[in-house]
Amino acid sequence: MNKTNLTIMVEFILLGFSNLPKLEGLLFVLFLVIYMSILIGNGLIIVITKIDPSLHTPMYYFIGNFSFLEICYTSVTIPRLLTNLWSQRRNISFLACAVQLTSFLIMGATECFLLAVMAYDRYVAICRPLYYHVIMNHKTCIKLVVGSWISGIPLQIGQTYQIFSLPLCGSNKLNHIFCDIPPLLKLACGDTSVNEFSVYADVLILAMIPFLLILWSYSQIIGTILKLPSATGRSKAFSTCSSHLIVVGLFFGSAIITYMRPKSIHSAEADKVLSLFYTIVTPMFNPIIYSLRNKDIIVALKKLLPK
């Protein structure tokens, strides 16, 4: 009896996809392929934006750093998910779970901020072209990137601390694919409304504000594009904007639905599927949408690759 209690104290069981035992092999292969493509795609973008002098502009500096973020962000969740699927060892220590949650939340906030920075950069380039080099100077770019990486840290550490100081109610089974807030709150005892409220506040500050900023930037951009004289220029700019907005909408939409829903109407299976969008699907499509559809990157890639 004592021994079980002690186990409950020190580790969680991440159930992952154990409800689909027949599919686990297939899911392993699928996630492995996705993870490799995230590493290769984003790695290529980092290399290209660093070595090609024609890409030494603010936009590509942000895109390169964003790719670096995607690699870190997915490396917090996918490798663990892969070992979970491969070895059927589902236990994760209390500490590892807390570290996973904190890093995931910090980088999630960075993701929101960097997407907002990239939208703002496009806004300045398209709507304020004469001031672009003044506004987006070297120092500002570095400040914006460093700020994106660090500003989520205090709130997210506080968030994790709060969640992990809740008493657990007997079960240590997390019905999820990684340590995320909703499944952890489900295991907590008693009244968690204060925690739920602090999660709302957190998401409002770290996700809603950047999201609104992005929507504002793109609405300004679209307004400017509509005044363009040439129809082809307009449609090209539109297709770029719409693909950015789809990725942004998927990422923020799935995250906001997951974290802003009250605990009472959370379904573990729906949460697993939704979480795939903000942990895996958007990091996979981001590099493609933000850069591979981009002429300059294609040209730089061709220069890099031997004929």
Ligand X SMILES: *[C@@H]1O[C@H](CO)[C@@H](O)[C@H](O)[C@H]1NC(C)=O
Which residues are at the interface with ligand X (CB under 6 A)?
46, 64-65, 68, 145-146, 149
Q: How far is the CB of 58 from ligand X (least distance, A)?
A: 13
Phi first, then psi: what are they for 282, rounded to 5°?
-70, -40
Q: How far is the CB of 146 from ligand X (least distance, A)?
A: 4
Q: What number of helices (H) and strands (E) belong to the chain? A: 14, 3
Contacts of 68 (CB under 8 A, 6+ apart): 42, 46
Q: How far is the CB of 260 from ligand X (least distance, A)?
A: 28
Contacts of 161 (CB under 8 A, 6+ apart): none
Alpha-carbon Rg for the chain, nearest whole angstrom, is: 21
Q: How far is the CB of 49 from ligand X (least distance, A)?
A: 8
Q: Which is nearer to ligand X, 60 or 278 (CB)?
A: 60
Q: Which is nearer to ligand X, 64 or 152 (CB)?
A: 64
Task: Say if CB 121 and CB 136 are below 8 A apart.
Answer: yes
Q: Which is nearer to ligand X, 146 or 226 (CB)?
A: 146
Both tokens of 245, joined, read: 């907005």
Q: Which is nearer to ligand X, 151 or 220 (CB)?
A: 151
Q: How far is the CB of 48 from ligand X (least distance, A)?
A: 11
Q: How far is the CB of 47 from ligand X (least distance, A)?
A: 10
Phi first, then psi: what are they for 58, rounded to 5°?
-55, -45
Long-range CB pairs of 30-37, under 8 A, 24+ apart, other chains included? 31/78, 31/81, 31/82, 31/85, 31/280, 32/82, 34/78, 34/280, 34/284, 35/74, 35/78, 35/79, 35/82, 37/284
Q: Which is nearer to ligand X, 141 or 174 (CB)?
A: 141
Q: Which is nearer to ligand X, 68 or 285 (CB)?
A: 68
| Token pair 């709507």 in the structure block, residue | 127
Q: Which is nearer to ligand X, 65 or 217 (CB)?
A: 65
Q: How far is the CB of 275 from ligand X (least distance, A)?
A: 25
CA 221 – CA 186 distance, rounded (Å): 42
